[in-house]
Chain A
Amino acid sequence: MAERIMVPVPPKAIIPSRDVGKRPILETHHLGIEFGGLKAVDDIDFAIGPSEICGLIGPNGAGKTTVFNLLTNVYQPTRGTILLDGYDTKGLSPDRVNRMGIARTFQNIRLFSNMSVLDNVKTGLHANMKTSFLSSITHGFGYSKAEKEADERAIELLKFFNMEHLKDHQAGALPYGAQRRLEIVRALATKPGILLLDEPAAGMNPSETAELMENIRRIRDEFNIAVMLIEHDMNLVMGICEGICVLNYGRIIAKGTPDEIKNNPKVIEAYLGKKAE
């Protein structure tokens, strides 16, 4: 494990008052990536408090998902630093970064479709189960105990989203909304310090979205973790986020509280275009 680096929180960071003075769970410094000379994302600076809900918004193609892919090391950044709870994640594999505390969901749902709902969640628990290979091939050496604990934990997590009655269903056969929820449950099963949600409300109707907002708040409160979300539904973003970053053409054009963002002329321009002269 690399040495933990303590970097002072950048002055421009927007962190809710209760998290001020604590080490941010996730910070980036001058983060950027080039694809063959094209700067897809450049000079991204932000810090997220350990119990903050943070929104990442911007027009289509602004580079939001690219930022998520950088944070989870799916892409290796060409410049800049990511600090996860003070540790530099440079060069680590995506699975390693997950075990260090970042869990995510995907814009286009990526479930283990042919496995049961329960097995999807138990796969999320994988890294936290410590049974050996020998125990797996003999079903001895603590196998039953570990499986039982995993079952209980998985059902507990499913209950959190009122999904325990679906546990034996095939994940791919669930309705769309339930698949989105299951992806969040699976991500939570990995015991993250921060949860990244990529368009969690896409394709949901207003009542489902309202339920989702409530759930995101409950995740933050009960699991005591930070949440960062990409979303186009402004009601959701303005309703639950404490800090918002606005991205356009791969750069952050504004940072602030929901009220500041709503009235920021740059943001309005990015979304609606310039006023005709």
Chain B
Amino acid sequence: MKSFFNKFSGLKKSARSNMITLALCLAAFGFVTAMVATGNASRHMKSLLVPICINIILTVSLNLVIGFLGELSLGHAGFMSVGAYAACLFSIAFEETLPVMVRFPLAMLIGGIAGGLFGLLVGIPVLRLKGDYLAIVTLAFGEILRSIIINLEFTGGASGLKGMPQDSTFNWGFIAVVITLFVVMNLVDSRHGRAIMAIRENAIAASAVGININRYKLMVFTVAAFFAGVAGALYGHNYSIMTAGTFDYNKSIEILVMVVLGGMGNIRGSIISAVLITVLPEMLRGLADYRMLIYAVVLIAMMLLGTSEKFMMLRYRLAPKRLIKRALQERQNRKDEKEARKYG
């Protein structure tokens, strides 16, 4: 055990932080599984587990674009819908022939690849744009995709796609979350990740040190769209009917809210805010008419607190690490005093 701790503290700071994030997720997973197993979770709560996983994946992957690359994309729901339809159509086709253990991972992979492919296709022309222009064009892309899906035969048209197997479970969702976190956190802490952040920091300087800006933008866009597709696959297999209307710009904005609330470039923050924003409206259901009002007020309050310097100072002072350090320091001081009195 001691050697583990030594090894742990010898790691790079970023690697340590990543391990803590994964450990926290694992602990949360264990806790929730235990709750469900002992029958302490309500049916309502259980129904939120898969959406939580979906939103974590969406938020973390969009954070890669917004927080790390520094480009505003409003088409995340579009990539999600591509992944969802691709995966569901696959599952419907192979429902009889493949067992769930093979079919669902394959469906998620196919959803991811379909999403990633669209990310790449859209990215090639679009990523020459910057800032507001990019945001508008990605928004338009999402809307176009939605209209196309509504007008196609094989996607079920406006009445929606039915008949996919209900494969999404919390376990599968959790596995997808862990893979997403693993890939995104590793990517950020690598030479490719440094290149991506360098583009955010200063594009001209990045190209002056030999970084191919278009290539890395495309890489980020594709990876983010891949995970949006995976999230879409989870989403599609969680409900008995799926309509294109769910993937409108409101969904994209909702993901954006989660990213901004969790903090740009902050993966642990993204996870927490995704959980919070998924759970909050459901928690407030008892308040009926005031639900959306309170939801909005809570959002505004959290945003204000998140950017307030005074609150940051307070949080810094109350951080567990600092409190422990201070307690230890005080104990040492008392000890020193005692020693001094003894000999003095």
- Tell me, yes or no, whether A178 is within 8 Å of chain B by CB: no
- Pair B194/A123 contact, Cβ less than 8 Å: yes
Which residues of chain A come closer than 8 Å to B192, judged between CB atoms?
A: 133, 136
Determine which residue in B189, B205, B206 has the highest number of CB atoms from chain A within 10 A of its CB, and name it. B205
Residues 105-129 of A, flagged 1 when their CB comes within 8 A of B and 0 if not, give 0100011111100010011111101
Given contacts A112-B202, A137-B183, contact A127 B190 (CB under 8 A): no
Q: A-B pairs with CB below 8 Å: how many? A: 100
- Tell me, yes or no, whether A150 is within 8 Å of chain B by CB: yes
- Pair A137/B186 contact, Cβ less than 8 Å: yes
Which residues of chain A come closer than 8 Å to B236, judged between CB atoms?
A: none
- Pair B208/A104 contact, Cβ less than 8 Å: yes
Which residues of chain A come closer than 8 Å to B219, judged between CB atoms?
A: 133
Q: Which residue of A lies closest to B204 (CB)?
A: A110
**Interface footprint category on A:** 35 or more
B210 touches which of A112, A126, A131 (Cβ 8 Å): A126
- Tell me, yes or no, whether A218 is within 8 Å of chain B by CB: no
B191 touches which of A111, A114, A150 (Cβ 8 Å): A150
Residues 196-222 of B, flagged 1 when their CB comes within 8 A of A and 0 if not, give 011001101111111111000001000
- Whole-angstrom CA separation of A150 from B195 in the bound complex: 14
- Pair A126/B186 contact, Cβ less than 8 Å: no
Given contacts A112-B197, A122-B194, A126-B195, contact A136 B186 (CB under 8 A): yes
- Pair A139/B190 contact, Cβ less than 8 Å: yes
- Tell me, yes or no, whether A181 is within 8 Å of chain B by CB: no
- Considering the complex, which residues of chain A in the window 52-90 have a beta carbon less than 8 Å from any beta carbon of chain B? 72, 74
A94 touches which of B187, B201, B207 (Cβ 8 Å): B207
B186 touches which of A98, A138, A150, A187 (Cβ 8 Å): A138
Which residues of chain B come closer than 8 Å to A137, judged between CB atoms?
A: 182-183, 186-187, 190
- Whole-angstrom CA separation of A104 from B194 in the bound complex: 19
- Pair B209/A126 contact, Cβ less than 8 Å: yes
Given contacts A98-B207, A112-B198, contact A93 B212 (CB under 8 A): yes
- Whole-angstrom CA separation of A98 from B195 in the bound complex: 15
- Tell me, yes or no, whether B51 is within 8 Å of chain A by CB: no
- Tell me, yes or no, whether A95 is within 8 Å of chain B by CB: yes
Which residues of chain B come closer than 8 Å to A127, judged between CB atoms?
A: 209-211
A115 touches which of B197, B209, B212 (Cβ 8 Å): B197
- Pair A136/B209 contact, Cβ less than 8 Å: no
- Whole-angstrom CA separation of A189 from B198 in the bound complex: 15
- Considering the complex, which residues of chain B in the window 169-199 have a beta carbon less than 8 Å from any beta carbon of chain A? 182-183, 186-187, 189-195, 197-198
**Interface footprint category on B:** 20 to 34
Given contacts A115-B194, A136-B191, contact A190 B201 (CB under 8 A): no
- Whole-angstrom CA separation of A190 from B213 in the bound complex: 16
- Pair B210/A122 contact, Cβ less than 8 Å: no
- Pair B202/A110 contact, Cβ less than 8 Å: yes
Q: Which residue of A lies closest to B203 (CB)?
A: A110
- Tell me, yes or no, whether A186 is within 8 Å of chain B by CB: yes
Residues 231-261 of A, flagged 1 when their CB comes within 8 A of B and 0 if not, give 0000000000000000000000000000000
Which residues of chain A come closer than 8 Å to B211, judged between CB atoms?
A: 95, 123, 126-127
Given contacts A112-B202, A115-B201, contact A126 B191 (CB under 8 A): yes
- Pair A146/B212 contact, Cβ less than 8 Å: no
- Tell me, yes or no, whether A184 is within 8 Å of chain B by CB: no
- Considering the complex, which residues of chain B in the window 212-248 have a beta carbon less than 8 Å from any beta carbon of chain A? 212-213, 219
- Tell me, yes or no, whether A158 is within 8 Å of chain B by CB: no
Q: Which residue of A lies closest to B202 (CB)?
A: A110
- Whole-angstrom CA separation of A134 from B57 in the bound complex: 20
- Tell me, yes or no, whether A99 is within 8 Å of chain B by CB: yes
Residues 59-71 of B, flagged 1 when their CB comes within 8 A of A and 0 if not, give 0000000000000
Which residues of chain B come closer than 8 Å to A229, judged between CB atoms?
A: none
- Whole-angstrom CA separation of A137 from B181 in the bound complex: 10
- Whole-angstrom CA separation of A93 from B189 in the bound complex: 26
Q: Which residue of B lies closest to A135 (CB)?
A: B190
Which residues of chain B come closer than 8 Å to A161, judged between CB atoms?
A: none
- Whole-angstrom CA separation of A72 from B192 in the bound complex: 23
Which residues of chain B come closer than 8 Å to A123, judged between CB atoms?
A: 194-195, 198, 206, 209, 211
Extra contacts, 17 of them, besides A114-B201, A115-B198, A136-B187 (Cβ < 8 A), are A98-B207, A98-B209, A106-B208, A111-B202, A112-B201, A112-B202, A112-B205, A113-B202, A119-B197, A123-B195, A123-B209, A127-B210, A137-B186, A137-B190, A139-B189, A146-B191, A186-B209
Binding site for A on B (CB under 8 A): 182-183, 186-187, 189-195, 197-198, 201-202, 204-213, 219
